[in-house]
Amino acid sequence: MQTRAVRGWCRSVALGALTWTLTASAATDINETRQATVATSAAHVLEVLASSDICEKGCKYFAPDTVREIKIDHLATPNLYYKWTHVSGIKTVKFFKRVEVVPGTVTKVNIRSLHEDTDAKLLQELVAKTKLENAPAFDASNALFTLTPKGDQVEVKVSAMTRIGGLMSMFAGAARKGMKESLDAMFANFTR
């Protein structure tokens, strides 16, 4: 009788662990959007997005949990460049991202993180040239900014997504909070 109870308990624990593992390994998409009309120019917003002076302490522009964010000169053109970001929050994260500016009456800025599975050669080149580490803690990350001039102001819209999987998906709430705080800080930077 006691052996059957112990086996039943072991099966319950194993089933619970399996369920938790399967749930934790499922990818979670964290999506955020923001829109505001700010008293600045589209050129200033582009300058902020391209800045290497973004961090949590001691930089011109504030970004929560950001140790450093720099624009990479290697391979840069006026409308396409790469940035490297070092964030220390829930986990230390270091990653490269591609920034493409599409000018027009409405300027678009596409930002996409680089990943080993799709950008291996480019990442090897950037790591070799900069000596900066690539250690992302997410599966994908992208953002689309649209900048529409409105007289002496600019309407800024952003749609951002970060996909986390595996054990990191357990921290989806903290990642969502961090994304909201980062976007709030970025919009505040546009007015500096």
Parallel, antiparallel, or unpaired: how do β-strands 54-55 and 153-164 relate? unpaired
Show the tokens assigned to 95: 């990653």
- CA 181/CA 116 separation, integer angstroms: 27
Residue 91: pLDDT band (50, 70, 90) is confident
Helix axes 42-50, 172-190, angle to 10 degrees: 130
Q: How far apart are CA 101 and CA 145, in angstroms?
A: 9
- 137 neighbors 81 (Cβ within 8 angstroms): no
Report the Cα 64 to chain-centroid distance in Å: 12
- Per DSSP bridges, beta strands 54-55 and 61-62 are parallel
Q: Are 57 and 65 in contact (CB under 8 A)?
A: no
Q: Residue 78 contacts by C-beta under 8 Å, 6 or more apart in sequence?
A: 101
Of residues 164 and 102, which shows the higher confidence score? Answer: 102
The residues spanned by each domain of the chain are 27-190
pLDDT above 70: residue 17: no
Is the domain covering 27-190 a CATH 3.30.530.20 domain?
A: yes
pLDDT average, residue stretch 129-137: 93
pLDDT digits (tens, 9 = 90+) for 163-185: 887 655 566 666 678 778 989 99
